[in-house]
Structure 1
Amino acid sequence: MGKKFLRGINVSLLLLIIISTFSSCTNEMNIFEGNNNKQINFLVSVPEWKKIDSLATTKTSRAMPVGGSSLSTSNTFNLIADQNDGAGNYSTLISSQAVSYSNNIWKTSNDYYWSGTANKTISFYAYYPSTISNVNHTAGSSPTLSYTVPDNVSDQIDIMTSTNNNVSGNTNSSTPLTFNHIFAAIQFSVGSNGIGSGTISSISIGSVANSGTYIFGGGWSNVTGSKTFTISQSKSIAGTSGEDIYSGIYTLMMIPQAFNNITITVTYSNGGTLTKTISGSWEGGKIYNYKVSYISRTFDYSGTIQTYTAPITGTYKLEVWGAQGGGGGYGGYSYGNLAITQNSQLYICIGSSA
């Protein structure tokens, strides 16, 4: 039976999800004393984004995949703290006050001290960066953040939060604040089968939910909306396996969600497009790296003329094999490279062995 292979371009893309793991780095704090009680200060742990590349043995990580640097001792974050009076009644002790690193400790701009009474507990809620708005809070309940993802990838910040509830009022050590990324990071690279060299002008993904309410310590609720997000940045690629397409400052920061039949569209500078529909889910604090590849297209004997429509303008490699001989050996082999314009059709006729 004769075979004819068309290699190079396929409407179907190979898309793999790489789920990140994350660890933390810790800044040790000192304790100050005042009024015979311990001053309230914090032990801050910041998670790093980590991505394991399935095509290599090395790991890469970045604390902030979108703009800015990691939450370090040169940064500040905001803090809300509710205090229990010992009878289950809460009042706000600290209201969205900046916390900074000074004199070897993380502390609020004003000094606060523990009561020294165990059942007079305090609940802490922290968020970074301190410039975010729409944080709503009622004493005795977790704050909420109302959020809509900005259209432009450059405006999509990496928000981190931390919650530590009902800390004993006779605490005499630094209070731990472990921050977590609340969004899912979406990136794109070249898959294991490679992709044609050229210039990609944009990649879009949608329609996905773009609005929701984040509950500190409780995750997302009321996730709604339908939005297509586009990374528009000219990117020339060699098309080799593992090559980066869009990451770094071009990482999309999406609300965690389950999704069905959303479309990824790759657009080339010559106007050609490739699409793939996917379903799945995104979790906060994880990187999803979609690896884009062309898969070879194989044509077997069908008894009729078959067609193939070129999805983009490019150079296509065609391979053909001769029919198997009567003695069991294989026939001849030939190949050639053909320049094909987008939407052009190839007509393919495969002969039979009889």
Structure 2
Amino acid sequence: MGALIFTHGLTPSPRAYTVLHAYLCGDDPHMASAVTARLRGEEGLNDAVIARIAAEATASELRPAALSRIAEALEERIADCMTATGASRDQVESFGTALDKEAAGFERDPQETLRRIVVLTRDAVEASRLVEAQLRHTRQEADSLRSDLQRARRAAEQDHLTGLPNRRSFEGRLDAIVTGRGGADAVVGLIDIDDFKQVNDRFGHAAGDRVLKFVASFLRAQLRRKVMVARFGGEEFALVFPDGTLHDAMKELDGVRERLSQRTLIHQESGEQIGHVTFSAGLALLGGDPAQSLSSADGLLYEAKKAGKNRVSIGS
């Protein structure tokens, strides 16, 4: 760890130690993959990159403790509903028993019996109202907790910067495709923005973030709706084409690449031209092992970079 800090000129902060420990020990696969991508990419590692990796991990993490608290609260509300329902049932049974008892004495003292029946009925109605109010309150609390749980799940599967699905969501989709149909006719792809480090170095990380958001929205708008676009980490995006051939996917993605390369971006603050933004990509068939398919796409992405960038490489 010390060698990494020294080699990349990192500030020896708790955040840096946390990120590098995850990379070296594999405790957090997503954080480790993000570090690996930076080490292989043009930007490398620096304090700003370490901060972004840590922030992304924090923003996308669905804390087990938070989920546990929500689940426990939901269980308590369900138990409250069951208790209230049971109490209501007991009250109905008691009311019925009391009515039978009073009815038996009707001939002896009709007026007193009617008075007692009125009292019993009034008490039963009041008890029913209380139970109904308790159930209504409990249902409202349970609905609120379910909404919290849904928001937490969405946050755990969304990249906070681009709004795209994150790596966790993407890998879950791959697993679902493979489980559902063995990955037949599906293509997986990895995209990396070319020379992204130069944007950060020249215009700052805020401009770099805007470029990431622009590319994310461009990919989402240009590709078919059924194609999943996710942020994989850093300047990398991941795709899954659920149908069609490898060459169909290449034709579609290459058209997007060409259209993007014709756009000229302007730095908002200075008005200076950032220039053309391009990407390199690798596409591979999605087989029975999603991790292996991603590795193949990653290797093809590397080949596209070596061949001159701004191109899409596919497997044979």
Q: Normalising by the residue count of structure 2, what TM-score does the alignment of the two structures yield?
A: 0.27
- Which structure shows the higher helix fraction? 2
- Which structure shows the higher strand fraction? 1
Larger radius of gyration: 2
